[in-house]
């Protein structure tokens, strides 16, 4: 008798804390926890764009490293903002870079030096020429398109502008008589830097701006860095843009959700609290608005106000997402306002506004949190939709939707351009949905049981 009673007491106490109970259930839901982890990770990435740009990707949002095509993942570019200088010894000694030995380095010589460097990287066995295997493994050799023909003459005509194609015949077209590709024959395979970029690289050191570097001015050049997931059609590092896109996409998602939250909670709480005819009218408006094509009105709005400002986007997207929130809040308020503690508050003369904000809203919080969590991915999807159509985020800003849109233009030549932002978007939305679902299950155990 005495040993079972205190146990029951503690049991009862535990049962009363809805939030602790919900948290415990949430922890058990692995999909939701994984979702939360991904969302947190994306959040950190979005916040840490500057740091990541400087120390991980080494590229910035807008610096262009143009080349024949979007560079595939694994290709190299020379960063111009966040760079580490290479040593000035060995192949990068002044004398080696100054190929013609006239005592100054010109842009052509810089470009050649980078090309030679790239060639040495590709030449895995350091025998001075590239075998077919090395040629295929080079990041800039592209898989052949389906309708590709292997006519050396035709190839000679287009090779000026194209990256080499991973094809034995093309390899033989490019290779010398020995069946191997030397530096001179490598062409586009090693052209990691354009002459324009070479000038920019030199300008970093060129104190007197004469377009030439003396031994005194020369102090090493930026080391080439890998574009981990390739570049876009302007040669901008895709990973960097993706990280920046996370910032915009998440910001739109959060702020528009906040806007919808504010409108929805105010509308729903007012309707539920006032009740009667006002409630009827307000909810009828919500009902009607449910079935309307809001995105079309938003598009109209955006096309009329030609400024594609983020602020307008936040407002427009938030303004069309509040309907469900209003319904949920109203339902909660109606069920809560009948309860005794509201009566008690009324009896001691608490004003209506105080009742709504201090008593009702904190109690209705569970479903509101769940729905807000599910609104964020919905808004992000809408932002991406608009950006995809060219009606959302505009350059120089970018978002995942805008990146996906650019990717679609180059879908055939550069599939990574759509796969990367598409994957980022899908994974984030999936995580948020799992998290939202998990929260709902955790806060509404009724749905999970029996």
- Residues that bind another protein in the complex, under the rule CB under 8 A: 1, 3-5, 7-8, 11, 25, 28, 146, 288, 290-297, 299-307, 377, 381, 384-385, 388-391, 395, 401, 404-405, 407-409, 411-412, 415, 418-419, 421-422, 425-426, 429-430, 433-434, 437, 447, 449-450
Residue 75: CB minimum distance to another protein, A: 20
316 Cβ partners below 8 Å, 6+ apart? 298, 301, 302
Residue 436: CB minimum distance to another protein, A: 11
Residue 426: CB minimum distance to another protein, A: 5
Residue 303: CB minimum distance to another protein, A: 4
Q: Which of 250, 259, 228 is nearest to 47 (CA)?
A: 250
53 Cβ partners below 8 Å, 6+ apart? 59, 60, 61, 82, 240, 243, 244
Residue 2: CB minimum distance to another protein, A: 9
Residue 224: CB minimum distance to another protein, A: 29
3-state secondary structure (DSSP) of residue 225? strand
Q: Which is nearer to another protein, 368 or 418 (CB)?
A: 418
Q: Which is nearer to another protein, 146 or 216 (CB)?
A: 146
Q: Which is nearer to another protein, 106 or 433 (CB)?
A: 433
Q: Which is nearer to another protein, 129 or 433 (CB)?
A: 433
CA torsion angle for 179, 182, 185, 187 (degrees, to 10)?
120
Q: Which of 360, 149, 168, 138 is nearest to 268 (CA)?
A: 360
Pinpoint the alpha helices (H) of 275-397. 276-290, 294-304, 310-319, 322-337, 340-347, 352-354, 361-363, 365-388
Distance CA 393, CA 314 (A): 11
**CB-CB contact of 300 with 240 (8 Å):** no
**CB-CB contact of 385 with 302 (8 Å):** no
Residue 378: CB minimum distance to another protein, A: 10
Residue 275: CB minimum distance to another protein, A: 18
Q: Which is nearer to another protein, 181 or 384 (CB)?
A: 384
* Residue 226, beta-bridge partner list: 76
Give, for 76, the enclosing helix (H) or strand (E): strand 76-77
Q: Which is nearer to another protein, 7 or 13 (CB)?
A: 7
Torsions phi, psi of 27, nearest 5?
A: -60, -30
Q: Which is nearer to another protein, 27 or 108 (CB)?
A: 27
Q: Which is nearer to another protein, 40 or 288 (CB)?
A: 288
**CB-CB contact of 419 with 232 (8 Å):** no
């Amino acid at each position: 008798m005495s040993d079972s009673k205190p146990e029951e007491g503690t049991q009862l106490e535990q049962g009363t804390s809805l939030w602790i109970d919900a948290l415990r259930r949430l922890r058990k839901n692995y999909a939701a926890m994984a979702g939360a982890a991904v969302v947190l990770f994306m959040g950190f990435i979005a916040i840490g764009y500057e740091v990541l740009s400087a120390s991980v990707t080494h590229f910035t949002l807008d610096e262009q490293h143009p080349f024949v095509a979007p560079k595939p993942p694994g290709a190299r570019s020379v960063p111009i903002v966040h760079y580490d200088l290479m040593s000035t010894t060995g192949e990068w000694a002044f004398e080696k870079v100054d190929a013609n030995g006239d005592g100054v380095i010109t842009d052509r010589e810089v470009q050649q030096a980078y090309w030679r460097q790239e060639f040495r990287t590709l030449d895995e066995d350091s025998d001075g020429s590239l075998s077919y295997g090395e040629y295929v493994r080079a990041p800039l050799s592209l898989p052949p398109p389906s309708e590709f023909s292997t006519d050396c003459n035709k190839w000679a005509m287009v090779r000026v502008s194209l990256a080499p194609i991973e094809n034995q015949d093309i390899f033989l077209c490019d290779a010398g008589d020995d069946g191997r590709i030397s530096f001179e024959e490598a062409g586009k395979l090693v052209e990691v830097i354009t002459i324009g970029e070479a000038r920019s690289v030199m300008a970093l050191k060129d104190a007197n701006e004469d377009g030439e570097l003396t031994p005194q001015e020369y102090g090493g050049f930026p080391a080439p860095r890998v574009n981990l997931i390739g570049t876009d059609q302007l040669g901008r590092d895709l990973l960097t843009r993706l990280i920046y896109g996370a910032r915009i996409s998440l910001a739109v998602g959060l702020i528009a959700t906040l806007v919808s939250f504010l409108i929805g909670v105010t509308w729903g709480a007012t309707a539920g609290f006032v009740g009667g005819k006002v409630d009827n009218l307000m909810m009828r408006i919500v009902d009607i608005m449910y079935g309307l094509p809001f995105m079309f009105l938003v598009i109209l709005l955006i096309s009329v106000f030609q400024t594609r400002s983020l602020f307008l986007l936040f407002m427009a997207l938030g303004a069309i997402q509040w309907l469900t929130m209003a319904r949920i809040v109203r339902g909660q308020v109606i069920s809560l306002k009948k309860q005794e503690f509201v009566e008690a508050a009324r009896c001691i003369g608490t004003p209506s506004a105080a009742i709504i904000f201090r008593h009702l809203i904190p109690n209705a919080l569970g479903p509101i949190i769940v729905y807000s969590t599910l609104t964020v991915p919905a808004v992000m999807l809408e932002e991406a939709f608009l950006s995809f159509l060219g009606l959302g985020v505009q350059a120089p800003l970018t978002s995942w939707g805008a990146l996906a849109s650019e990717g679609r233009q180059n879908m055939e030549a550069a599939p990574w351009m759509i796969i990367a932002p598409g994957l980022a978007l899908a994974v984030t939305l999936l995580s948020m949905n799992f998290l939202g679902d998990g929260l709902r299950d955790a806060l509404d155990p009724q749905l999970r049981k029996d």
